[in-house]
């Protein structure tokens, strides 16, 4: 039996042994949700010109506004720059247009009344110099760094890429992952079920947890508890994939072939067993080509906890993502701890009217009990302690 290592040590060992999955260039639309792997710089000043911010007229500001502004022309969005021919006049302007030469003030249409070929201010409106003008380069200068490597490309980042002419962009490669279920007792979702059998669900759950974060190159494989078969399957999968996630067969039982079978395929064990509950039997190693090989216990809650606590963050980091620190939550009720094990407890999480993220522990009765999980948002992580974590104390949240 190997010694138990701490949760922090396990996460750290995994991080130090993960490969870099590399990067690839993809077209802009396909980049949404991917991890940026390059610096992004401003293509031009932003805005690229003094930009009109309201529909109305552009004028040359005067401390005492004239009673009426003769209309001398029009500057619409997309038009090249017009000029104000005479200081007391105006040009009609549209939101998004260039500010015409000679103008330094935009008066919105709501404050204007049209009178023949001129505009008059209504109700003694007093325009301010420079108003409703978004000055050239006020957001950023051409060449300024806008985005760093490591960010996930969400809506604001995609807007910036588009606005700055990035028709394609370098993003983290999504690794090819095999999710392998072992166990003679497992039958497929659509197969007849016999006595002593249960349906395969860990692979489906782990796949959903990964897919939600863009890890969508997944193969789901089932293999029976047979040493030769497991060996052959592992050899084939190691040749084809960047990472393997096995569930089941890593405990201390006689039919727990997985650690030995992995060793026989040249997968170097980094650790086996973590001082935690559930998920103690977790195993991690590195394949002959540097593949990351995770083996998580077969119990459904254990498998999912290990997948979201260790496997998913490690894979995302290896894609180049700056993985955010987990959220801190305030316990709504006491939760049991263990003196020498970190406990992971499913929890329902909601922000209260004071902005506090409150977690209500929903302890699974066993590591096989997952019927109560759908009403939870993730698990809270409770460090080893001599007494229970009291209501009001703070814990770390890992979302499903």
Pick out residues in 53-112 that bind a second copy (CB under 8 A).
53-55, 76-81, 92, 94-98, 109-110
What sign for the dihedral angle of Cα 374, 375, 381, 382?
negative
CA 100/CA 97 separation, integer angstroms: 9
Per CB under 8 A, does 233 bind a second copy?
no
329 forms part of the interface with a second copy (CB under 8 A): yes
* Smallest separation (angstroms) from a second copy to the CB of 290: 27
The Cα–Cα gap between 32 and 158 comes to 7
Q: How far is CA 359 from CA 56, 305, 328, 397, in A?
A: 52, 17, 10, 9
Where does this chain touch a second copy (CB under 8 A) — which range of 58-66, 141-149, 234-242, 266-274? 141-149
From 265, 299, 337, 342, residue interacting with a second copy (rule: CB under 8 A) = 299
What is the Cα–Cα distance from 98 to 339, expressed in whole angstroms? 68
Q: Is-contact 295 180, C-beta < 8 A?
A: no
Report the residue from 174, 207, 316, 319 that binds a second copy according to the rule CB under 8 A.
207
**209 belongs to the binding site for a second copy (CB under 8 A):** yes
Kindly state whether residue 128 participates in binding a second copy, applying the rule CB under 8 A. no
Q: Which of 18, 317, 2, 38 is nearest to 168 (CA)?
A: 38
Q: 273: which 2 tokens?
A: 């067993």
Residues 181-200 that bind a second copy (CB under 8 A): 183-186, 189-190, 193-200
Among positions 130, 143, 154, 363, the unique one binding a second copy when judged by CB under 8 A: 154
Q: Rounded to the nearest whole angstrom, what is the least distance from the CB of residue 288 to a second copy in the complex? A: 29
Nearby residues of 60 by Cβ (< 8 Å), 6 or more positions away = 84, 87, 88, 102, 103, 104, 105
118 binds a second copy (CB under 8 A): no
What residues from 244 to 283 belong to the interface with a second copy (CB under 8 A)? 248, 251-256
Binding segment (CB under 8 A) for a second copy, from list 6-14, 135-143, 257-265, 314-322 = 135-143
Q: What is the largest CA-CA distance in the chain?
A: 96
Binder among 22, 130, 143, 165 for a second copy (CB under 8 A): 165
Phi, psi at 233, each rounded to 5°: -65, -45
Per CB under 8 A, 116 contacts a second copy: no
């Amino acid at each position: 039996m190997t010694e138990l290592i701490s949760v922090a040590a396990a996460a750290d060992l995994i991080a130090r042994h993960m490969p870099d999955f590399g990067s690839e260039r993809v077209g802009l639309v396909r980049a949404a949700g991917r991890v940026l792997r390059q610096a992004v710089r401003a293509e031009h000043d932003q805005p690229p010109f003094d930009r009109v911010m309201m529909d109305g007229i552009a004028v040359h500001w005067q401390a005492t506004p004239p009673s009426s502004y003769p209309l001398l022309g029009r500057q619409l969005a997309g038009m090249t720059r017009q000029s104000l021919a005479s200081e007391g006049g105006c040009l009609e302007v549209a939101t998004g247009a260039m500010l015409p030469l000679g103008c330094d003030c935009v008066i919105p249409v709501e404050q204007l009344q049209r009178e023949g070929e001129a505009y008059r201010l209504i109700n003694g409106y007093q325009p301010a110099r420079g108003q409703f003008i978004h000055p050239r380069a006020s957001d950023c200068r051409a060449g300024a760094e806008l985005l760093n490597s490591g960010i996930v490309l969400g809506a604001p980042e995609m807007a910036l890429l588009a606005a700055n002419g990035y028709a394609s962009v370098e993003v983290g490669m999504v690794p090819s992952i095999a999710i392998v279920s072992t166990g003679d007792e497992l039958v497929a979702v659509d197969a007849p079920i016999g006595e002593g059998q249960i349906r395969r669900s860990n692979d489906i759950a782990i796949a959903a947890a990964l897919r939600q974060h863009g890890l969508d190159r997944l193969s789901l494989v089932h293999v029976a508890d047979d040493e030769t078969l497991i060996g052959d399957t592992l050899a084939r999968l190691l040749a084809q994939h960047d990472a393997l996630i096995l569930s089941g067969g890593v405990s201390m039982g006689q039919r727990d072939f997985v650690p030995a079978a992995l060793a026989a395929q040249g997968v170097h064990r980094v650790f086996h067993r973590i001082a935690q509950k559930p998920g103690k039997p977790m195993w991690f190693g590195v394949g002959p080509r540097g593949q990351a090989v995770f083996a998580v216990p077969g119990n459904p809650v254990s498998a999912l906890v290990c997948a979201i606590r260790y496997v998913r963050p490690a894979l995302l980091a290896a894609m180049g993502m700056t993985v955010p620190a987990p959220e801190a939550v305030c316990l709504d009720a006491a939760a049991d701890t263990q003196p020498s094990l970190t406990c992971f407890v499913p929890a329902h999480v909601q922000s209260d009217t004071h902005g506090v993220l409150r977690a209500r522990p929903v302890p699974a009765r066993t590591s096989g009990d997952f019927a109560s999980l759908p009403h939870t948002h993730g698990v809270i992580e409770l460090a080893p302690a001599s007494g229970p974590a009291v209501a009001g104390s703070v814990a770390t949240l890992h979302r499903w």
